[in-house]
């Protein structure tokens, strides 16, 4: 096995294989560059006496190297973990000792693949060689998912076992009933007995398998039990790494856009702010509010508005009374009123009642020896005469339309007179009076505009509440993730601390790379500012910016596979880990 060692390189986000350009993790024969990472790592491994080589298992087949899409999405990383588990398991089962070097999110892909590799190969840690992660912001996204899946399976098992026992008991009772009291076996009795025997046998097999697996252990606990005698994973990182800084700070910062209140409170605040903002706009445009006027002018404005409101109220009251009188259920009362008014009875009747006297006899008529109100007698006569009733209703409809038309005609006439009076007064008191006179209308308009802006405020509230979490999810590649957003860590929290050794980039490496990063900003400042100066950024512009950062190896995140000191540390750890077998 000593002669079959290979180093598998797992790239990070936005570094998926593309036909138009080479990548740092590709074999040197494919890159054709002596300064390529694979060539330099092989040279350091040779110098330290290690038999491991980058992609040693597929030097003649460069297309067989492992690669994933590199999309910044947790589902893509989960699929890549499954593919890597199959890839490594196949090699280890063929006798290869596999060392894995992973960059950025490639480290998360490796950690997520370990339980499945351990299941397929029987290796306690999963990978039987060294694991080196470079600048990986460890995000335990799969742990909660696997734990929930395991809990769901346990609940299903808890439900299935009683159901299994009840079914077995029912079959046994059925078999007993078919045999009692004669004890004769027929086809159905033997069929039920066979089913019972099959169920008992399968139940015993499941119990034996469950006993061999031992007690239930969660995904997190299982990973933390992977504790060899010495660390098998080296995590090299630095707080100056661009990806680490972005994910760490964007997760730690509280929502800067949060409204700090509930939806109703926010809507109330926005309505008030909108109203005040519109008032300020009106003030800038030269409008004068009522509260800013002198006391005499306020009194005149109040009198003008009081007169306007009183007349409008009287008009609406008159229209309402006309409508109520015109309704069909008030026909008799309306007839009595019209009849008494037409015959001059109305005034005489009310005068007699007011003085406490008996009404004049001419208000009554004698009908079959009894005195009855003349209007009542006439109403009954009209009801029995269809032609007279139709004529009376047509006349009433005409009177109603005439009354309503009179009111409707009076409204614009009165408003015109009111505005003429207001304009005349404004000639004496100045334009401020006219502006103050319209302040109630402007106030109502401001309130209406503030109310109509509430739907947009609801959308703004949702954007403020969900905007920052969405940005966090997009940065972590965890859109639609069903659990709480995890933190970015320097070491995988899902593994036992005995498995993991963490190191920071040395001061010398950091000084060199920070100087190179400053030069990078000077070189690309023009392109970046030109890109950001656009009025609108497209998805292609954002992709170009990410590719610009990812392709330039002078940034901190590129130092892991470009600096000789870092590459030498990788080779040293791989060599030591290989010697433990």
Closest CA to 55 of 68, 44, 39, 78: 39
Report the percent of the chain where pLDDT is more than 70. Answer: 77
Contact yes or no for 510/560 (Cβ under 8 A): no
Same domain, 135 and 22: yes
Q: What is the pLDDT of residue 287?
A: 73
Tell me whether residue 430 is in a domain.
Answer: yes
Helix, strand, coil share (%) of the chain residues, nearest 5: 65, 5, 25
Residue 135 backbone zone (phi > 0: left; psi -120 to 50: alpha; other: beta): left
Q: Are residues 63 and 25 part of one domain?
A: yes
Question: How large is the average pLDDT for residues 198-219?
Answer: 70
pLDDT value at position 250?
Answer: 85
Q: Which of 139-143, 188-192, 313-317, 461-465 has the lowest mean pLDDT?
A: 188-192
Same domain, 306 and 420: yes
For 83-95, what is the mean pLDDT? Answer: 92
User: Which residue, 548, 552, 554, 551, is CA-closest to 529?
Assistant: 548
At 266-323, the pLDDT tens digits run 899 888 888 888 878 877 776 777 677 778 877 888 888 888 888 888 888 888 877 7
Domain end: 435, 452, 469, which one?
452
Question: Would you call the peptide bond into 181 cis, given omega within 30 degrees of 0 as the criterion?
Answer: yes
Q: What is the pLDDT of residue 367?
A: 47
Least confident of 17-31, 267-281, 462-476: 17-31
The H or E element that residue 152 is part of is helix 142-179
**Tens-place pLDDT, residues 321-361:** 777 766 766 666 666 666 666 665 555 555 655 565 554 54
Residue 134 forms part of a structural domain = yes
CA-only gyration radius of the chain, Å: 46
Residues 425 and 349 in one domain: yes
Among 437, 452, 467, the domain-final residue is 452
The answer on 128 and 30 residing in a single domain is yes
Closest residue by Cα to residue 425 from 441, 437, 407, 413: 437
Helices (H) and strands (E) counted in the chain, each on its own, are 21, 8
Least Cα distance to 64 among 74, 56, 72 occurs for: 56
pLDDT band at residue 89 under the 50/70/90 scheme: very high
Our count of domains for the chain comes to 3
CA pair distance 477, 174, nearest whole angstrom? 57
Residue 156 has pLDDT above 90, yes or no: no
Most confident of 80-94, 123-137, 148-162: 80-94
User: Which two three-digit tokens encode residue 579?
Assistant: 């010697």
Residue 572 located in a structural domain: yes
Are 99 and 196 in the same domain?
no
String of DSSP letters for 394-407: HHHHHHHHHHHHHH
Asked if residue 558 has pLDDT above 60, the reply is: yes
* pLDDT, averaged across the chain: 79
Q: Rounded distance, CA 302 to CA 295, Å?
A: 10
Say if residues 340 and 349 touch (Cβ distance below 8 Å): yes
Q: Looking at residue 528, what is its pLDDT? A: 61
- In whole angstroms, give the CA distance from residue 110 to residue 52: 19
For 32-67, the pLDDT digits (tens) are 566 789 999 999 999 999 999 999 988 777 678 999
d(CA 364, CA 270): 70
Say how many Å lie between the first and final Cα of the chain, rounded.
Answer: 9
Which of the pair, 236 or 357, is modelled with greater confidence? 236
Is the pLDDT confidence value at 366 over 60?
Answer: no
Q: What is the pLDDT of residues 401-444, one digit of tens each?
A: 888 888 888 888 888 888 888 887 777 777 777 777 777 888 88
List the CATH number of the domain containing 77.
3.40.50
- 81 with 182, same domain: the answer is no
Going by pLDDT thresholds of 50, 70 and 90, the confidence category of residue 220 is: low
- Neighbour tally for 282: CB within 10 Å: 19
**CA 36 to the chain's CA centroid:** 43
Residues 491 and 518 in one domain: yes
| Cα separation, 21 vs 117, whole angstroms | 31
- CA pair distance 502, 238, nearest whole angstrom: 10
Record the tokens describing residue 111, joined without a space.
């950690």
Looking at the structure, tell me whether residues 294 and 415 fall in a common domain.
yes
In a domain, 367, yes or no: yes
Residue 226 has pLDDT above 60, yes or no: no
Q: Is the pLDDT of residue 218 over 60?
A: no
Residues 344 and 432 placed together within one structural domain of the fold: yes
Please state the rounded mean pLDDT for residues 431-458.
83
Please give the pLDDT value at position 507.
87
Q: In whole angstroms, what is the distance from residue 548 CA to residue 543 CA?
A: 8
Q: Is 571 helix (H, G, I), strand (E, B) or coil?
A: helix
pLDDT of residue 1: 42
pTM for the whole structure: 0.66
Q: Which has more pLDDT, 341 or 177?
A: 177
544 belongs to a structural domain: no
Beta-strand pair 131-134/233-237: parallel
State the residue range of the domain holding 181.
145-219
Residue 71 and residue 179 in one domain: no
Choose from 200-214, 354-368, 446-460 the range with maximum mean pLDDT: 446-460
534/189: higher pLDDT: 189
CA distance linking residue 6 with residue 95, whole number of Å = 11
Secondary structure, 3-state, 498-542:
HHEEEEECCHHHHHHHHHHHHHHHHHHHHHHHHHHCCCCCCHHHH
Which one-letter DSSP state was computed for residue 552? Answer: -
pLDDT digits (tens, 9 = 90+) for 488-531: 888 888 887 878 899 998 888 888 878 877 776 666 666 666 65
Contacts of 243 (CB under 8 A, 6+ apart): 12, 104, 135, 137, 557
CA distance 557 to 237: 9
Q: Is 189 part of any domain?
A: yes
Distance CA 306, CA 299 (A): 10
Distance of CA 39 to the CA centre of its chain: 46
What pLDDT score was predicted for residue 344?
Answer: 59
Q: Is residue 541 part of a domain?
A: no
Query: Pairing relation of β-strands 500-504 and 233-237?
Result: parallel
Residue 432 and residue 326 in one domain: yes
460 domain-assigned:
no
């Amino acid at each position: 096995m000593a002669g079959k060692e290979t180093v598998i390189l797992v790239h990070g986000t936005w570094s998926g294989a593309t036909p138009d350009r080479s990548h740092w993790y590709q074999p040197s024969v494919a890159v054709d560059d002596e300064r390529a990472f694979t060539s330099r790592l092989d040279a350091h491994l040779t110098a330290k006496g290690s038999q491991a080589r980058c992609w040693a298992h597929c030097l003649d087949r460069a297309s067989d190297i492992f690669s994933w899409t590199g999309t910044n999405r947790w589902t893509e990383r989960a699929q890549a973990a499954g593919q890597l588990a199959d890839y490594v398991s196949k090699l280890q089962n063929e006798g290869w000792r596999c060392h894995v070097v992973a960059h950025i999110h490639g480290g998360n892909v490796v950690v997520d693949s370990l339980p499945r590799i351990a299941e397929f190969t029987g290796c306690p840690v999963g990978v039987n060689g060294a694991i080196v992660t470079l600048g990986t912001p460890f995000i335990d996204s799969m742990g909660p998912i696997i734990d929930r899946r395991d809990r769901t399976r346990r609940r299903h098992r808890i439900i299935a076992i009683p159901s299994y026992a009840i079914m077995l008991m029912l079959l046994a009772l059925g078999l007993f009933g078919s045999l009692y009291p004669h004890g004769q076996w027929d086809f159905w009795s033997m069929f039920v007995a066979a089913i019972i025997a099959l169920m008992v046998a399968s139940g015993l097999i499941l119990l034996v398998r469950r006993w061999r697996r031992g007690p239930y252990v969660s995904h997190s606990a299982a990973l933390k039990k992977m504790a060899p005698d010495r660390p098998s994973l080296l995590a090299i990182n630095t707080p100056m790494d661009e990806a680490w800084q972005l994910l760490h700070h964007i997760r730690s910062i509280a929502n800067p856009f949060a409204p700090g209140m509930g939806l109703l409170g926010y809507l109330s605040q926005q309505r008030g702010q909108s109203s005040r903002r519109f008032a300020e706009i009106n003030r800038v445009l030269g409008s004068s509010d009522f509260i800013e006027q002198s006391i005499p002018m306020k009194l005149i404005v109040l009198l003008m508005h009081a007169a306007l409101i009183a007349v409008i109220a009287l008009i609406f009251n008159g229209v309402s009374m006309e409508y109520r009188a015109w309704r069909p259920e008030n026909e008799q009362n309306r007839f009595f009123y019209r009849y008494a008014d037409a015959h001059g009875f109305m005034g005489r009747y009310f005068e007699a009642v007011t003085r406490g006297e008996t009404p004049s006899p001419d208000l009554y008529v004698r009908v079959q020896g009894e005195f009855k109100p003349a209007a009542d007698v006439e109403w009954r006569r009209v009801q029995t005469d269809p032609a007279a009733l139709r004529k009376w209703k047509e006349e009433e409809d005409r009177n109603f339309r005439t009354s309503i038309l009179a009111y409707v005609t009076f409204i614009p006439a009165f408003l015109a007179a009111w505005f003429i009076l207001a304009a005349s007064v404004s000639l004496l008191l100045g334009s401020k009076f006219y502006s103050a006179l319209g302040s109630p209308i402007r106030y109502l308009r401001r309130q209406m505009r503030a109310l109509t802006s509430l739907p947009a405020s609801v959308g703004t509230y949702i954007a403020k509440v969900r905007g920052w979490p969405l940005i966090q999810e997009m940065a972590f590649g965890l859109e639609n993730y069903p659990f709480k957003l995890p933190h970015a860590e320097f070491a995988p929290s899902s593994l036992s601390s005995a498995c993991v050794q963490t190191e920071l980039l040395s001061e010398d490496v950091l000084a060199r790379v920070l100087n190179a990063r400053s030069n990078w900003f000077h070189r690309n400042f023009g392109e970046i500012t030109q890109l950001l100066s656009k009025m609108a950024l497209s998805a292609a512009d954002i992709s170009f910016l990410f590719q610009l950062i990812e392709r330039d190896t002078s940034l901190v995140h590129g130092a892991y596979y470009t600096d000789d000191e870092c590459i030498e540390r990788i080779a040293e750890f791989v060599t030591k880990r290989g010697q433990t077998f």
